[in-house]
């Protein structure tokens, strides 16, 4: 997992595919885009613009993905995201859905919380279980962008 703020990014520390996502986030006016899905590099890298209501952590199931990495960017509002490493011993609430590339968990061990403010981003890899859109003190509407990067886009070192 990576966590940062778009105003403080030194992109050379990130793989090329994540640099593409960060460039897209930094150069796009999300106030001008409708909620929806936007291709960046076809199905290999694309963005989802979402308007959500934050909810109590207890009603949001933790999730993970297998084929895509999430770059979650908070454009507007306040949010907390629960994060835990998938070590294989968490109870599954809903089996992996290959079509949606998602598995939901009942609960997770050793969960920490990221406090998200506008401009913050977090990169979640397949081993990173995350619980997005949790309220931070009170429920609010947030606009967030999730850039999905196919795991195959990451370069493998020899």
The pTM for the full model equals 0.95
Sheet holding 45-53, edge to edge: 2-5, 120-124, 68-76, 141-150, 45-53, 36-41
Per-residue pLDDT of 51-99, as tens digits, reads 999 999 999 999 999 999 999 999 999 999 999 999 999 999 999 999 9
Give the residue carrying structure tokens 């919380």: 113
**How sure is the predictor about 134, in pLDDT bands with cuts at 50, 70 and 90?**
very high
CA 151 to each of CA 28, 44, 51, 103, 136: distance values in angstroms, whole numbers, following the listed order? 23, 9, 25, 16, 30
Element holding 132 (H helix, E strand)? strand 128-134
Query: Which of 108, 83, 105, 82 is closest to 94 using CA atoms?
Result: 105
Residue 66 has what pLDDT? 97
Q: Please give the structure tokens belonging to residue 152.
A: 């195959």
């Amino acid at each position: 997992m990576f966590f940062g703020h778009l105003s403080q990014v030194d992109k050379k520390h990130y793989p090329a595919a994540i640099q593409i996502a960060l460039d897209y986030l930094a150069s796009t006016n999300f106030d001008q885009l409708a909620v929806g899905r936007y291709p960046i590099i076809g199905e290999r890298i694309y963005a989802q613009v979402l308007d959500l209501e934050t909810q109590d952590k207890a009603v949001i199931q933790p999730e993970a993905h297998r084929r895509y990495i999430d770059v979650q960017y908070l454009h507007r509002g306040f949010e907390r995201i629960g994060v835990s490493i998938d070590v294989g011993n968490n109870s599954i609430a809903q089996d992996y859905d290959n079509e949606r590339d998602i598995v939901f968990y009942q609960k997770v061990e050793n969960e920490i919380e990221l406090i998200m403010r506008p401009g913050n981003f977090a990169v979640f890899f397949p081993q990173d279980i995350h619980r997005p859109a949790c309220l931070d003190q009170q429920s609010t509407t947030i606009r967030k962008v999730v850039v999905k990067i196919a795991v195959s886009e990451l370069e493998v070192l020899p």
